[in-house]
Amino acid sequence: MFKKDISPGAKSKVKSSVQRTIRQKVLDTYPLLEPYIEDILPKKEQLDLVKLPDRVSLYVLNGTPLFFQHMDDALLPHLALVHRYPNAFSRLRIDRGAIRFVLSGATLMAPGLTSPGGRLPGDPADTEGRYGKEDLEPGTPVVIEAEGKDTACMVGVLKMGTGEMKKVKKGQACEAGHYLGDGLWTLAL
């Protein structure tokens, strides 16, 4: 979505009623954020909306980008937010070999997740349950972590359910929404 460098468009204040709606939407999509929501989206502080190219809206609080949204699609977290609250999102892990493809903006393919270095929900090798137990449906927003790394490198929406991935082990797994080093990451606000 942000393969090219972008520059921010018009910035406007979000009305408090809209701000409440956004807060609720965030909680509906990411229920695990509940304990931190007052820190992330304080009720009393002014949220700003920055327009980005291709009908993407970016929500910014005091200069810190929090969530972005293409038209009326799901609100997706900015990676800097993911890095602060990594456990509040559904996560998957790619193997080391897939990292450089993801960082160049390629669509994530299933083998990067199903190989031994990858992790999908319910993986027996995932003893701490970091990647969850329940399979995820297509259309679910996910955070992509990487083998041997602590921090996430991508945020996207699943094109294929994780159950399906385990079965077919090929095809497009996840649309590249936002990845480390892309236009959104390097955006100067």
Partner 1 sequence: MATESYPKTVIYCGVCTLPPEYCEFGGTTKKCEEWLEKNQSELHKKLYSQEALEQNLSSLSIEAQKRAEKDSQKKAAKAAAAEARDAETRASSKVLIKRIERNKRKYVTAVQGLEAFGLDIKKVAKDFGKKFATGSSVTKVPGGGDEITVQGDLSDDILEYIEDNYKDVPEDNIELVEDKKKKKAEQVG
In angstroms, what is the minimal distance from the CB of 130 to partner 1?
A: 8
Please select the residue that binds partner 1; options are 37, 74, 103, 157, rule is CB under 8 A. Answer: 103
Q: Which is nearer to partner 1, 53 or 97 (CB)?
A: 97
In angstroms, what is the minimal distance from the CB of 65 to partner 1?
A: 13
CA distance 166 to 46: 44
99 contributes a contact to partner 1 by CB under 8 A:
yes
Q: How many residues does the chain have?
A: 189
How many residues bind to partner 1 according to rule CB under 8 A? 28
76 contributes a contact to partner 1 by CB under 8 A:
no
In angstroms, what is the minimal distance from the CB of 151 to partner 1?
A: 4
Please select the residue that binds partner 1; options are 83, 106, 126, 163, rule is CB under 8 A. Answer: 83
CA distance 107 to 171: 10
Contact pattern for partner 1 over residues 125 through 164, marking x by CB under 8 A: ---x-x----------------xxxxx-x-----------
Q: Which is nearer to partner 1, 34 or 137 (CB)?
A: 34
What is the CB-side half-sphere exposure of residue 60 using CA atoms within 13 A? 22
Q: For residue 139, what are its two tokens?
A: 């259309």
CA distance 66 to 40: 8
Q: Which is nearer to partner 1, 159 or 178 (CB)?
A: 178
User: 70: buried, middle or exposed (CB in 10 Å: 19+, 13-18, 0-12)?
Assistant: middle
Cβ atoms of residues 6 and 188 within 8 Å:
no
